[in-house]
Amino acid sequence: MGLVRLFLACGVVLAHYDQQILAELNLQGDPLWASNVIGARSVIFFYVVSGFLISFVLHTKYAPGPAGTRAFFWSRFLRIYPLWWAVLIASIVLDPRWGGLHSPFEAVPLTALFGMDWLVSFGAYPKAYWDFIPSSMGIAWTLAAELTFYAMAPWLLRSPRIAASLFALSFVVRIAAYWFAGDQPTYVIWSFFFFPATLMFFLLGYFAQRLGSRYPIGLLPSLIALAMAALLSSLDIQVSVDLPASYFSVICFAVALPGLFAATKDSRFFNFCGDLTYPLYLIHSLMIVALFWPWLATPMIALAREVPTPHLQSLALFGELLATALVLSIAVHLLVERHLRWLFMAAAPRLAPAPVSESARL
């Protein structure tokens, strides 16, 4: 499971590096390098994984009631906020393109994350509003959606009836967005940024976890389902998350998760891969701003230009960029994220929950 999450993060990196670096050099990334699981599709798949893992921890690690709910929220806080604040400060200091806040009220979603997706969606509607976020941290709006789901999860995911009702409502919102705005520039806002339209993907992960715990299908069928998800995705158009192939792909992906999780949850290697997902997700664009252009651009580009065709040059340069981002993610995880988490736990020992296994962490 951890390797799957890392692959999804690499799909996000591919989409961003294609826009931020390769296009600037008249090169172009190929979505099929990641079976077309890039950008928006990677985010949607991440939502399914989040729904699965949050359902797992709520049903196996945290008892119903105030104490279990408080422990769950504390574990989510430790997972998200210490590294977010550190990278946010680094982005503000290192990103010369950021123009600062236009209103003091924008500081709340920027630091607390809650509401950031709504401000991005409607702060300058019908256009998306990005001015209040450092350009190297644009991906952070997805964390706001994750946190909204976390806030609902202790009550939502303990009631299959409520979960099913909200899944149906979210699906209706999504169909309405496609029907009324499918050919409009605002479609991305209503189908991708708008949390009520994406809640169904979190809940799809929840249903996969609950059904998988009752009716396990084993590793081989799970790998087949994962391969089908990759195949359907690779056959779909690049930007789609709402065509039939997109839905069948994400359903196959959800079906694969229980078996993959059961087979890998006790593996230190797979869990370490999963631990790298969040640092890679946060720092890959900052790496371009802070490191790539001043220091690494010339030798990396020169090395990539040694290969014979533009396609292979694009692949070589992306491989260099991704390898650099992964090395930095390992350093951030080991030297920054773990220590920050320890500092927060030491500062508030009474809030610390019972230890959660690496396999249950996002």
What the block records as the tokens of 258 is 């229980």
| Residue 29 identity (one-letter amino acid) | G
Query: pLDDT of the chain along its 362 residues, tens only?
Result: 899 999 999 999 999 988 888 888 888 889 989 999 998 999 999 999 999 999 999 999 988 888 889 999 999 999 999 999 999 999 888 877 788 888 889 999 999 999 999 999 999 999 999 999 988 888 899 999 999 999 999 999 999 999 999 999 999 999 999 899 888 889 999 999 999 999 999 999 999 999 999 999 999 999 999 999 999 999 887 666 788 889 999 999 999 999 999 999 999 999 999 999 999 999 998 888 776 665 556 777 888 888 889 899 999 989 988 999 999 999 999 999 999 999 998 887 665 554 444 333 44
Range(s) of the domain holding residue 323? 2-360
Distances from the Cα of 334 to the Cα of 225, 292, 330, angstroms:
33, 22, 6
Q: Is the peptide bond before 196 cis (omega within 30 degrees of 0)?
A: no
pTM: 0.92
> DSSP letter string over 157-180?
TT-HHHHHHHHHHHHHHHHHHHHH
Dist CA 174 CA 169 (whole Å): 9
Q: Are 19 and 288 in contact (CB under 8 A)?
A: no
* Residue keyed to tokens 């006790």: 266
Of 140, 197, 141, 191, which is closest to residue 169 (Cα–Cα)? Answer: 197
Predicted confidence (pLDDT) per residue in 223-249, tens digit: 999 999 999 999 887 666 788 889 999
**Helix (H, G, I), strand (E, B), or coil: what is residue 129?**
coil
Query: How far apart are alpha carbons 255 and 275 in whole angstroms?
Result: 23
Rounded Cα distance, 117 and 134, in Å: 14
Hey, what are 59's tokens? 């049903």
The structural domain count of the chain equals 1
Q: Is 40:141 a contact under the CB 8 Å cutoff?
A: no
- Do residues 111 and 77 make contact, with C-beta atoms less than 8 angstroms apart? no
